Amino acid sequence: MKKLEDRADIEVLVNRFYDKVGRDEKIGFFFNDVAKVDWSQHLPKMYAFWETLLFGQISYKGNPMAVHFPINAEVPIEKDHFAHWLALWTETVEENFTGEMADLAIYKATNIANLMAHKMEVARR
């Protein structure tokens, strides 16, 4: 299988992941109905986000936590939702790529998803 090694690979991975997310029974509605995401805006942000995390290319300059609070205030994003997000991410990475960067993509997503789940829970108290 192919190694995850450049920006083009990230675009493939992110496109395939959000293709699943958008059609997903458990978490798709956050994107389609709650946030009403404009995919043509969201996807390039996510390419930049992952390029920054994995390759140290500082192309993403946003605040990844901040956008999730207003969504969480409208409809709670629960631990189970994050676990499902992470399962889809891990599955998509493993279906398409191998190697150190693929492992790192799973490792970093795990850490951020856990931290985000915790922050969302605290914000609801």
Residues forming contacts to ligand HEM in the complex (CB under 6 A) are 27, 30-31, 35, 37, 42, 45, 49, 62, 64, 67-68, 71, 77, 81-82, 85, 109, 112-113, 116
User: Please, which residue, 112 or 123, has the CB nearer to ligand HEM?
Assistant: 112
The pair phi, psi for residue 98, each rounded to 5°, is -135, 175
Closest CA to 108 of 62, 56, 45, 39: 56
User: Please, which residue, 2 or 62, has the CB nearer to ligand HEM?
Assistant: 62
User: Please, which residue, 1 or 75, has the CB nearer to ligand HEM?
Assistant: 75
Q: How far is the CB of 12 from ligand HEM (least distance, A)?
A: 17
Cβ distance 57 to 51 under 8 Å? yes
Q: How far is the CB of 79 from ligand HEM (least distance, A)?
A: 10
Cβ distance 123 to 72 under 8 Å? yes
Closest CA to 22 of 9, 36, 10: 36
What gap in Å lies between CA 45 and CA 62, rounded to an integer?
Answer: 9
Q: How far is the CB of 49 from ligand HEM (least distance, A)?
A: 4
Q: How far is the CB of 65 from ligand HEM (least distance, A)?
A: 8
User: Please, which residue, 54 or 81, has the CB nearer to ligand HEM?
Assistant: 81
Q: How many CB atoms lie within 10 A of CB 16?
A: 16
